[in-house]
Amino acid sequence: MTITQLNYVLAVAEYQNFTKAAEHSYVTQPTLSMQIQKLEEELAVKIFDRTKKPIELTEVGKKIVSQAKNIVNESNRISDIIDQEKGFVGGEYKIGIIPTIMPTLLPMFLKTFIEKYPKVELKIKELTTPEIIKQLNEGHIDAALAATPLEDENLIETPLYYEPFVGYIPENHRLNPEKTITIEDLDLQDILLLEDGHCFRDGVINLCNTRNNQQTKKFQLESGSFETLTKLADEGLGMTLLPYLHSKQMNCNKEPLRHFKDPKPAREVSLLYTKSKLKIQITIALKETIEAVIRGAIAFHDVKIISPKKH
């Protein structure tokens, strides 16, 4: 039994196809199939039921895959131990970032990080929160930046900052005369929302404390863009809510922006990684870099954390 064979088993278990697993493992399909067959012969069991389409794990195969994940993770820790002993911060590091954080936070820390840690090869993906949870648990990314709490027992959430919600209220809106707004002022039927799948959308719905988010809408909108929402608001079609950092970077007129009274509703933004703590030295470096650049940008303390989870 080898680590390579176990990696091949994990690839087939994930993709449920020998050809796709071989492609993602950068080997030929016959090579991968032969190594898995050798392992099955050594163990005298069938790991995969090849009669099913797509391929399925046998009952004993499920147990083998569960243990294989632990073994592969522990083998990777050996390299981590050596790197930490040498004080080396480098190598490939994959990070996922949700769409409502990516355009504002990434430009703030990326240049500083790559200049300070030139030996780290960052690979950054824009992912939704469900995709982040899945890819972290499957080992496809090393860490993520997302709104929390997510309460996934396999993940560690390290809060980095608290980002208030900001109202975007055009001139003709009922709340425009107000200098500041409160949660009680909001009417969800009046708020333009991001498309389903964005945790910021779920946070807004939770903030308004209702589940009837589309019942009396005169139109339904699916957009992943805050710019689209603010333009529609300018056309008199409602108001919207923005993350604080996004409101700070807007090129348009700041007059429609309204801050909430204290305690300000806010989202908790955290660095997420698995309990295996693989590549922890890079994770710590990333955390410290982000905290250093964000410290001067967000200084709100009296906030009320709004959950990004659907209720």
- According to the model, what pLDDT value does residue 212 have? 47
Q: In DSSP terms, which residues pair with 271 in a beta bridge?
A: 145, 158
Spatial distance between the Cα atoms of 147 and 271, rounded to a whole number of angstroms: 9
The pTM (predicted TM-score) of the whole model is 0.78
Q: Cα–Cα distance between 121 and 113 in angstroms, integer?
A: 11
Mean pLDDT of 161-165: 94
**Under 8 Å between Cβ of 38 and 6:** no
Q: For 149-161, what is each residue's pLDDT tens digit? A: 998 899 999 999 9
Q: Per-residue pLDDT tens for 23-35?
A: 989 999 999 999 9
Confidence band of 44 (pLDDT split at 50, 70, 90)? very high
Distance CA 158, CA 274 (A): 11
20: Cα separation from own chain's centroid: 25
| Distance between CA atoms of residues 311 and 308, nearest Å | 9
CA proximity to 269, closest of 235, 305, 218: 305
**DSSP of 57-115, one letter per residue?**
E-HHHHHHHHHHHHHHHHHHHHHHHHHHHHT---EEEEEEE-TTTHHHHHHHHHHHHHH
* Cis bond before residue 263 (omega within 30° of 0): yes
Give the amino acid at 211: R
Of the listed ranges 179-183, 202-206, 216-220, the one predicted with least confidence: 216-220
- Report residue 291: phi and psi, to 5°: -60, -35
Confidence of residue 301 (pLDDT cuts 50, 70, 90): confident
Q: Which residue has the higher pLDDT, 78 or 12?
A: 12
Q: What is the pLDDT of residue 218?
A: 56
